[in-house]
Amino acid sequence: MRNFLTQEIERLQMLFRDAPGFICVLQGKQHVYELANDAYYQLIGHRPIIGGALAEVLPEVIWQGFLDKLDHVYLTGEPFVGRAIPIQLQRVAGGDLEQRYIDLTYQPLRDHDGKVIGIFAQGHDVTEAHELARKLAYQAAHDPLTGLYNRREFTNRLEALDAPGPHAILYLDIDHFKLINDRCGHAAGDVVLVQIAEALRAEVASDHLLARIGGDEFALILPACDTETAFEVAHRLRMAVQGLHPVFRGRRYSLSLSVGIAVCGQKDGLSFEAALGLADTACYLAKEKGRNRTQASSSTDEEIRLRRRDMDGATLLTEALREDRVVLHAQRIFPLQPGAQQGPIFHEVLARIQGHDGRLILPSDFIPAAERFGLVEQLDHHVIGKVFAHLQNVRQEDGDTACYFVNVSGLTLGSPEFAPFVERQLGSNPDLSASQICFEVTETAAISNIRWVCETMHKLIGAGFRFALDDFGSGMSSFAYLQDLPVHFVKIDGEFIKGTLTRPAGAAIVEAVVKVARVMNMQTIAESVEVADLLPLLRGIGIDYGQGFALQYPEPLCGFVASS
């Protein structure tokens, strides 16, 4: 029996000694060490402690409050539990204090009468887990390149800011940053971004929240700050960035910063999210006005309102393209001169967006946004694909008598990808004839990239397609450029057409366009024929075709046939 008890005691001692967590037993009010296991000795640097009072053998824990915690447990009998408590310990004899984090429990020990006679301490050294968690939390909240807060953390901290304000939000965008990435590579761009982040950080107070929220975009919140002060901060930030002159491959680059400002937390109740959107919009306006400047905004600012309308239009169009809610209408182009009745029947294809509520959204609500935000080429391809598919389906009804005018931007037409795209569409719709399509390009868009546009036009004309120059007269130097563009039709801008009834000069301009077009073997089309009184005048001037509400309203292309 005695051997059995001895073995059990030895086994318990071994379990105590080798337990993975640290354990010790403290006796009396002075917290004298009675027992401690290996993990505890490892935690405190293997100092001799048995028989000594805690305050004597571990003096560094006194000013850290651990002695007070022990006294409280001893006096009250209430256990103490703490998670990831920071503690500094001397873990090497004579060495410096080392920061550790521990999970710790102080449990009172009682005699037969229930009186507290000591304390049982146990816990784990969780430093590595704590540091890992802290590192992961840091990575989740910070941009890995610049070390600034990321967009997610910026948003979270904005939402947590409950001071009454006003607060200023600055949206910062690096001007022409793409040049460095394109010419020197993204590694060089990363170096510049780090330099910019350091320059911005040097100008920002510790209580200001600075974040990188995009590739070359930063945001800053200035608590308790009005617009005037925000302008001063924005100026300092712009000067700091302007002072950077990075050199790559022997070339020095100049940098500048566009800044948008919005103020929130005032009586208008503007939310942080709405203010950040306004600041973003203001930053875009600053770039449009020449860059390297600061633009303030408010929810009542007309410029901001128009800009946000375009941004909303871009979102609307993106969703409509993704969900295939772009619907097509067609408007007949009628011959005005005797003898023209024998030719093909012309229609212009007009794009609309089908709203979720069934309402049709007109091009004026999304075409400017498409041009501004780089969506116009995607829209053009989408519409062309739908038109080609429609003509393939109605081939038996139309024969070769229908010709559809399809709008295409100069940007799309000047792309080297456009001609191959059209050829692929033609190959995918074998019953379609190229003569059934006339591409319309606006005069100003064509002129801006005339060499590439002409090259693409000649290639597609060789394949049998036709071209019309839209809105002729809306740009400058119209007649000088007309001779360079291989177009079959000239569509005269509607403002000139409407002016023929009220302004003598308007009729003279239209007549001059007709004469020049005739010399160049081009046919003319009058746009915006909205009143019947225009028709005799237009016929007299010699215009070949007319298009407008006085002749026909647009109709859905679905089920639309050439004879309609």
Q: Please give, one letter per residue, the 3-state secondary structure of 72-86.
A: HHHHHCCCEEEEEEE
- The domain in which residue 217 lies consists of 142-300
Same domain? For 392 and 540 the reply is yes
The confidence score (pLDDT) of residue 547 equals: 94
Count of CB atoms within 10 A of residue 216's CB?
19
**Separation of CA 147 from chain center:** 20
Q: Tell me the C-alpha distance between 359 and 349, whole Å.
A: 19
The confidence score (pLDDT) of residue 60 equals: 92
Same domain? For 82 and 182 the reply is no
Residue 266 falls within a domain, yes or no?
yes
Of residues 382, 398, 363, 369, the one with CA closest to residue 554: 363
Structure tokens that stand for 509 in this block: 């301009």
Same domain? For 102 and 8 the reply is yes
Q: Which parts of the chain have pLDDT scores under 50?
A: 396, 398-399, 476-477, 559-564
Residue 311 falls within a domain, yes or no?
no
What is the CB-side half-sphere exposure of residue 420 using CA atoms within 13 A? 3
Same domain? For 109 and 184 the reply is no
Same domain? For 156 and 120 the reply is no
Same domain? For 333 and 466 the reply is yes
- The residue from 73, 101, 131 where one domain ends is 131
Residue 252 falls within a domain, yes or no?
yes
List the beta bridge partners of residue 90: 97
Whether a cis peptide bond, with omega within 30° of 0, leads into 338 is no
Structure tokens that stand for 194 in this block: 């780090």
CATH number assigned to the domain comprising residue 323 = 3.20.20.450
The confidence score (pLDDT) of residue 503 equals: 78
Residue 342 falls within a domain, yes or no?
yes
Same domain? For 167 and 118 the reply is no
CATH number assigned to the domain comprising residue 218 = 3.30.70.270
The confidence score (pLDDT) of residue 444 equals: 59
- The residue from 108, 131, 154 where one domain ends is 131
The confidence score (pLDDT) of residue 3 equals: 65
Count of CB atoms within 10 A of residue 322's CB?
8
Residue 347 falls within a domain, yes or no?
yes
Domain tally for the chain? 3
Q: Tell me the C-alpha distance between 289 and 311, whole Å.
A: 17
H runs (alpha helix) in 210-301 = 227-242, 272-288
Q: Tell me the C-alpha distance between 533 and 548, whole Å.
A: 12
Of residues 422, 507, 531, 425, the one with CA closest to residue 466: 422
Distances (CA, A) of 352 to 88, 297, 373, 376, 377: 69, 31, 18, 14, 16
Q: Tell me the C-alpha distance between 491 and 505, whole Å.
A: 18
* Pairing state between β 345-354 and 402-407: parallel
The confidence score (pLDDT) of residue 4 equals: 56
Same domain? For 237 and 283 the reply is yes
The confidence score (pLDDT) of residue 342 equals: 65
Residue 136 falls within a domain, yes or no?
no
Q: Tell me the C-alpha distance between 414 and 517, whole Å.
A: 24
